[in-house]
């Protein structure tokens, strides 16, 4: 029995729906091509009325075929206006994203109604092709909604996951999981066909990969990469008994409105208490192995392409490495207990902002003298991250609104005689945001903020945290985000060190270009070595760095290897070099 949610149908309503395919086709062709938002509202209203009007399944399926491409075109067009925006979305973007998802939900509703009617009429065998198409299209659109929600760090609309699971269950019962239909969304297969199983497993992989912790744009990249792994995804009714073998396995509850859950996060009694008929085992081990093979082909470069990724711009070793670790069950279990609390805290966003506030609200700017002095004047602003080579897979996170750099144009426009001689100059370009700590552990914080209009965040942003004690600053990185409204944002911070020292950093061979950096002390108890935080892409492998502290004392260090990389910063393991080399 199919138990998906569908609108209540009525024979006659306050407004009649146009149900003649030729009339609908002509009306859709006449919609304004230049205004996707106007078309969205008109199609949304038409689908809303149609999906609440009783129709013959054949007629409804013909109508849905006419609406499918226009809706997908609107989705693709409007999606680009907010998909790459930092969180939280502006109020207008949030409303637009909500309207786009409502449009897709109404599209899915139409197909679900067809599948539901054929099930109730017990005419599936006589209309198998129609039933397969309706179930597959509904599954495809619901998977698109799920991916879109995760991509903008929003919770999925209520009931979407439950309906998706129920569509899989009825497909499994009628043995139509691998029945091919034309792929309308794209990236399904080389022959242009796709199955219910293909669409379902694509949503499962997105939901299983800790999507709220993915970097900006990673959800869409994964959505395009996943089809090549479809043969490595295995779903079965037989559960793995031994907990030691749970790594790489996920549990699907077909009755739940939720994504697959890593089994390594679960206790045996939690599984035993559930109805076994509703449970399916998702085996990701072969996918993890294929990802590992691709990583070996890609090598250490995040932009190098090889193998199945040859010529694909969305191939990215950083993304695949994170994805593979999650699928293999690495670091999915919380290592320390979180305690609930409700404490105020002040947060600044970005490496430069953290450097500024931890330095007593003075901006670091060095004057280079002697033979090493560049031709430019000492009053030039500190080199910004825009001048650092960036790889195309990551977004530039140097927007002044999120505090990653000072306003270079404003600084350069000031007369030189008005600028202070102190190299740690005062600046007003950075902001502190009041937040609340919801829970905390030894290694991280769960934070909630009522967002001012100028606050924009991304996963991977570096954050400075001012605890209630005076001058007590710590540094962390945003590991996940989730937004429930335009004004409210929850995010998790991993603490990087109990303390840090703001310093200036330059390449050993380039005495003219100093950057802000943060020196993190080693922690023998936690086996953490001394490390250095610098803007992403600043350091070239094999190149030594010169550190300059507040007292103008210099020291040369040799980065050993990259400890961590986000779209905002690089964390380098360092060791002291010969002091004479910095002179």
Domain ranges of the chain: 1-207, 338-385+400-405+422-583
Read off the tokens for 198: 């293909």
Name the residue with tokens 């750099």: 405
In 3D, which of 306, 274, 411 has the Cα closest to residue 352? Answer: 411
Sign of the dihedral through C-alpha 227, 229, 231, 237: negative
481, 489 in Cβ contact below 8 A?
yes
What is the Cα–Cα distance from 399 to 395, expressed in whole angstroms? 10
Residue 214 CA from chain centroid, whole number: 4
How many of the other CB atoms lie within 10 Å of CB of 316? 26
What is the Cα–Cα distance from 92 to 203, expressed in whole angstroms? 27
Distances (CA, A) of 182 to 65, 188, 193, 194, 576: 12, 9, 5, 6, 61
* Angular region, 116: left φ>0, alpha ψ -120 to 50, beta rest: alpha
Q: What DSSP string describes 226-268?
A: GGGGGGG-EEESPPP--GGG-TTEEEEETTSSS--EEGGGS-H
pTM attached to this predicted model? 0.81
Residue 326 CA from chain centroid, whole number: 14
152, 84 in Cβ contact below 8 A?
no
What is the Cα–Cα distance from 372 to 553, expressed in whole angstroms? 16
Q: Give the pLDDT of the chain (583 residues) as one tens digit per residue.
A: 678 899 988 766 556 788 899 999 999 999 987 789 999 999 999 999 999 999 999 999 999 999 999 999 999 999 988 988 888 888 889 999 999 999 999 999 999 999 999 988 888 888 899 999 999 999 999 999 999 999 999 999 999 999 999 999 999 999 999 999 988 876 555 678 899 999 999 999 999 888 999 888 888 888 888 888 888 889 998 876 666 667 788 999 999 999 998 887 777 777 776 777 889 999 888 888 888 888 777 754 443 333 333 334 334 677 888 888 787 766 554 555 778 888 889 999 999 999 988 888 876 665 544 444 444 333 333 333 333 333 333 222 333 333 333 333 333 333 333 333 343 444 457 888 999 999 988 789 999 998 777 788 899 999 999 887 666 899 999 999 998 777 889 999 999 988 899 999 988 888 777 889 999 988 777 666 789 999 988 888 888 998 887 766 788 888 888 888 888 899 999 888 764 444 4
Q: What pLDDT sits at residue 380?
A: 36
Sign of the dihedral through C-alpha 174, 257, 326, 296: positive
What is the Cα–Cα distance from 418 to 54, expressed in whole angstroms? 75
In 3D, which of 291, 338, 316 has the Cα closest to residue 494? Answer: 338
Q: What pLDDT sits at residue 577?
A: 75
What is the Cα–Cα distance from 183 to 192, expressed in whole angstroms? 5
Burial class (CB within 10 angstroms; exposed 0-12, middle 13-18, buried 19+) of 310:
exposed
Interstrand relation of 554-565 and 444-450 (parallel, antiparallel or unpaired): unpaired
* Angular region, 105: left φ>0, alpha ψ -120 to 50, beta rest: alpha
């Amino acid at each position: 029995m199919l138990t998906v949610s569908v609108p209540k149908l009525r024979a006659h309503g306050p407004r009649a729906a146009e149900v003649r395919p030729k009339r609908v086709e002509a009306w859709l062709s006449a919609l304004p091509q230049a205004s996707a938002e106007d078309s969205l509202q008109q199609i949304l209203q038409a689908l809303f009325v149609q999906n609440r009007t009783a129709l013959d399944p054949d007629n409804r399926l013909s109508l849905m075929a006419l609406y499918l491409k226009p809706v997908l075109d609107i989705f693709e067009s409007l999606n680009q206006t907010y998909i790459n925006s930092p969180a939280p979305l502006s109020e207008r973007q949030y409303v637009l994203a909500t309207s786009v998802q409502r449009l897709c939900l109404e599209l899915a509703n139409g197909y679900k109604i067809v599948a539901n009617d054929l099930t109730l009429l017990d005419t599936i065998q006589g209309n198998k092709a129609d039933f397969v198409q309706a179930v597959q299209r509904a599954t495809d659109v619901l998977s698109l909604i799920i991916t879109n929600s995760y991509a903008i760090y929003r919770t999925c609309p209520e009931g979407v996951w439950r309906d998706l699971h129920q569509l899989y269950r009825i497909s499994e019962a009628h043995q139509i999981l691998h029945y091919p239909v034309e792929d309308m969304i794209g990236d399904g297969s080389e022959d242009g066909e796709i199955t219910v199983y293909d669409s379902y497993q694509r949503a499962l992989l997105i939901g299983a990969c800790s999507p709220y912790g993915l970097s900006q744009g990673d959800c869409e990249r994964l959505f395009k990469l996943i089809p090549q792994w479809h043969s490595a995804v295995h779903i079965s009714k037989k559960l793995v008994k031994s907990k030691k073998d749970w790594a790489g396995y996920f549990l699907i509850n077909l009755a739940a409105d939720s994504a697959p859950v890593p089994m390594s996060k679960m206790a045996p009694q939690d599984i035993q208490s559930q109805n076994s008929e509703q449970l399916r085992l998702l085996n990701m081990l072969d996918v993890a192995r294929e990802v590992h093979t691709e990583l070996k082909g890609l090598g250490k470069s995040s932009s190098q392409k090889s193998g199945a990724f040859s010529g694909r711009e969305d191939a990215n070793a950083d993304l695949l490495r994170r994805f593979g670790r999650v699928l293999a069950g690495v670091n999915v279990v919380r290592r320390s207990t979180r305690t609930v609390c409700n404490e105020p805290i002040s947060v600044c966003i970005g490496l430069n902002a953290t450097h500024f506030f931890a330095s007593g609200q003075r901006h670091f700017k060095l004057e280079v003298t002697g033979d090493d002095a560049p031709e430019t004047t000492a009053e030039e602003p500190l080199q910004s991250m825009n001048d650092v080579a960036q790889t195309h897979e990551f977004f530039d996170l140097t927007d002044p609104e999120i505090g990653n750099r000072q306003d270079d144009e404003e600084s350069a426009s000031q007369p030189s005689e008005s600028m202070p001689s102190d190299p740690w100059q005062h600046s007003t370009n950075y902001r502190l945001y009041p937040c609340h700590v919801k829970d905390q552990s030894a290694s991280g914080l769960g934070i909630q903020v009522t967002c001012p209009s100028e606050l924009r965040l991304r996963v991977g942003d570096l954050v400075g945290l001012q605890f209630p004690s005076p001058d007590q600053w710590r540094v962390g990185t945003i590991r996940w985000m989730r937004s429930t409204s335009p004004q409210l944002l929850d995010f998790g911070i991993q603490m990087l060190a109990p303390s840090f020292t703001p310093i200036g950093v330059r390449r050993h061979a380039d005495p003219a270009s100093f950057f802000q950096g943060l020196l993190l002390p080693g922690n023998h108890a936690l086996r953490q070595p001394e490390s250095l935080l610098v803007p992403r892409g600043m350091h070239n492998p094999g190149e030594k760095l010169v550190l300059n502290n507040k007292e103008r004392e210099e020291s040369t260090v040799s980065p050993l290897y990259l400890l961590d990389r986000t779209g905002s910063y690089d964390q380098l393991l360092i060791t002291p070099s010969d002091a004479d080399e910095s002179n």
